[in-house]
Amino acid sequence: MDAYGPGNSRSSSGDESRIMRLGYGADEIYTQSALRSLQRWKEFCAEQGVQLFHQTGVLWLAHEDDRYSLQTWETLTRLRILCERLTTAEVAQRYPQIGLAKISWAMLETGSGVLMARRSVQAVVRAAIKRGVALVQDAVDTCGPGVSSGWDAKTASGHLNQITTTGGRRISAAVYVFACGPWLPKMFPQLLGHRINPTRQEVFYLGPPPADPRFTSAVLPTWIDFQDEAYGLPDVEGRGVKVAIDRHGEPFDPDTGDRVVTSQGLAEVRRYLAARVPALRDAPVIESRVCQYENSSNGDFLIDRHPGFENVWLVGGGSGHGFKHGPMVGEYVAARVNDHDTGIETRFSLATKGEKPSRTVY
């Protein structure tokens, strides 16, 4: 069930594209997850006959004393994941479009790239429907019959028998999985209202000069500028060069929040481009998005049973990096819902999600 439909513009996965990277510093659990997910994304594309992944490579731009990038290099090489360490001279020779102010070295994940997020969601839904899944476009009525007494209470206990929708449906199931992205704290305000925090994130697509191949996905890799809190994607499928400041924004309501980008946000992106991709400093904005992250306190996913209902699962906390892990999360949740593996990774548990931000996963 999806309130606004698959791949809608209000969802966490409603933008055109997402970075598919394997690097997570020393955090091997997420590198292994991303590696498994990339394999499954590729298999899905082959099965469905669609291109949802573009292998642009992902270039990490490392500053001096950049511990996270160094740990990423060490993890990837230990796991024998294809990557290449580059000097600034090598980066300048290969990618003269990229300014190297404050950059000491770089690392290229050669097999990584870009996933077309919105189309991927819609393709997965189409495949699910073909396999017999029923799609309902409706919303859960959190004040409906059988809900108001104990739905969200931290002391709730027992078995959820049904949900009522705003469209008047009553749906009964053996197990319920609430994977609601930025709507999770609205669905469960007492339980998750201070543990999952949606924030406003602005994204800009810049138009490269006409007939200029320097910014196409065949020439320019996706890049991550971790210490400058920024990232960029090359011109994929003619959408322009995507650039964003990767810093948590203001609190945001996914239903009612204003999705018009600000002049301040654009000015910051232009300042960043002046140093990092100077040829795009004054490029026209051809598209823009206001998306949202749904941040857990530490950046770890939330995948756990509801503490009060033994047949309710809570899945979220993507924290701005979750999309690429979709296949792994799906397998992980399905195994536990079907009791094939009853263990829960401690890091994904509700108990590890505090009410004060203490980010450790990026």
Q: Indicate whether 173 and 241 sit together in one domain.
A: no
Let me know if residue 132 belongs to a domain.
no
CA distance linking residue 289 with residue 9, whole number of Å: 9
Domain boundary among 277, 293, 309: 293
Let me know if residue 134 belongs to a domain.
no
Q: Indicate whether 180 and 32 sit together in one domain.
A: no
CA distance linking residue 196 with residue 262, whole number of Å: 24
Q: Indicate whether 247 and 272 sit together in one domain.
A: yes
CA distance linking residue 314 with residue 193, whole number of Å: 13
266-278 burial, b at 16+ Cβ within 10 Å, e below that, comes to eebbbebbebbbe
Q: Indicate whether 106 and 222 sit together in one domain.
A: yes
Share of the chain above pLDDT 90, in %: 90
pLDDT for residue 152: 57
Interhelix angle for 67-78 vs 28-48, to 10°? 60
Let me know if residue 359 belongs to a domain.
no
Domain boundary among 245, 269, 293: 293
Interhelix angle for 117-130 vs 28-48, to 10°? 60
3-class SS at 335? Answer: helix
For tokens 């990092």, name the residue.
276
Let me know if residue 1 belongs to a domain.
no
CA distance linking residue 134 with residue 137, whole number of Å: 10
pLDDT band at 148 (very low <50, low <70, confident <90, very high): very low
Q: How many CA atoms within 13 Å lie on the side-chain side of 128?
A: 13
Q: Indicate whether 39 and 74 sit together in one domain.
A: yes
pLDDT for residue 56: 98
Tell me: pLDDT of 155 over 70.
no
pLDDT, averaged across the chain: 94
DSSP letter for 207, please.
P
* 48-67 pLDDT per residue, tens: 999 999 999 999 999 999 99
Tell me: pLDDT of 343 over 90.
no
Are 73 and 107 in contact by the 8 Å Cβ rule? The answer is: yes
Q: For the residues 237-247, what does the mean pLDDT come to?
A: 96
Q: How many residues does the chain have?
A: 362
Q: Indicate whether 26 and 97 sit together in one domain.
A: yes
Q: Who contacts 172 (Cβ-Cβ below 8 Å, separation ≥6)?
A: 161, 162
Provide the token pair at 7: 């791949």
Q: Indicate whether 233 and 211 sit together in one domain.
A: yes
pLDDT band at 157 (very low <50, low <70, confident <90, very high): low
Q: Indicate whether 113 and 218 sit together in one domain.
A: yes
Question: Domain of 288?
Answer: 18-119+200-293
